């Protein structure tokens, strides 16, 4: 039996399932979601916190329901330290440190692919380069960082 790819979903992917303001992202995310059983899917305690902080009650309820059965990863001291290194080297601005933590959680849990719609701080060339450099420097594994269309073999938006 073929081993499933381990993927980590940040909160942007979960919310895009229901975001009617972005029909194209919603369409890609729903298409990706139809193939979700092909993967070993993970979220984190940070994802749970971000979902709980969602001000729209209906959206929050939908997201809570959709993530209920996904594997959860913990935030550890090592995650905090690695996230700080990503920030220190400029992968993510300090104001958006949580985005660095999403990456660190995925890396330290040997996730194959981090899936995100966050083009501003996660799915961008500079972040990928800095993460690769920091991981190489400290002996952490490589992680692929992509958006839902890419995991489906489509093009980025």
Span 128-140, pLDDT tens digits: 999 999 999 999 9
Is the Cα dihedral 10, 11, 12, 14 positive or negative?
positive
pLDDT tens column, 91-137: 999 999 999 999 999 999 999 999 999 999 999 999 999 999 999 99
**Local structure of 19: helix, strand or coil:** coil
Residue the block writes with tokens 């980590």: 8
What is the Cα Rg of the chain in Å?
A: 15
Under 8 Å between Cβ of 51 and 63: yes
* Structural domains of the chain ordered from first start: 5-151 (3.40.50.1010)
pTM assigned to the model: 0.94
Q: CA angle 23-65-40, nearest 5°?
A: 85
pLDDT at 83: 98
pLDDT tens column, 7-17: 999 999 999 99
- Tokens representing 35 are 């193939």
Is the Cα dihedral 68, 38, 100, 73 positive or negative?
positive
Under 8 Å between Cβ of 27 and 152: no
In Å, what is the CA distance from 24 to each residue of 16, 48, 52, 79, 143?
Answer: 10, 25, 25, 33, 26
Across the chain, what does the average pLDDT equal?
94
What is the rounded distance in angstroms from the CA atom of residue 127 to the CA atom of residue 83? 12
């Amino acid at each position: 039996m073929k081993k499933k790819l381990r993927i980590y979903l940040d909160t942007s992917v979960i919310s895009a399932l229901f975001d009617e303001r972005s029909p194209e992202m919603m369409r890609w995310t729903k298409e990706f979601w139809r193939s979700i059983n092909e993967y070993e899917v993970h979220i984190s305690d940070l994802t749970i916190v971000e979902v709980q902080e969602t001000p729209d009650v209906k959206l929050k309820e939908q997201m809570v329901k959709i993530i209920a059965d996904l594997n959860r990863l913990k935030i550890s001291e090592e995650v905090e330290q690695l996230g700080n290194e990503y920030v220190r080297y400029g992968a993510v601005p300090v104001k958006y440190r949580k985005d660095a933590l999403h990456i660190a959680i995925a890396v330290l849990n040997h996730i194959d692919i981090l899936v995100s719609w966050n083009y501003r701080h996660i799915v961008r060339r500079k972040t990928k380069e800095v993460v690769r450099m920091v991981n190489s420097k400290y002996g952490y594994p490589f992680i692929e960082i992509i958006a839902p269309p890419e995991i489906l073999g489509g093009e980025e938006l």
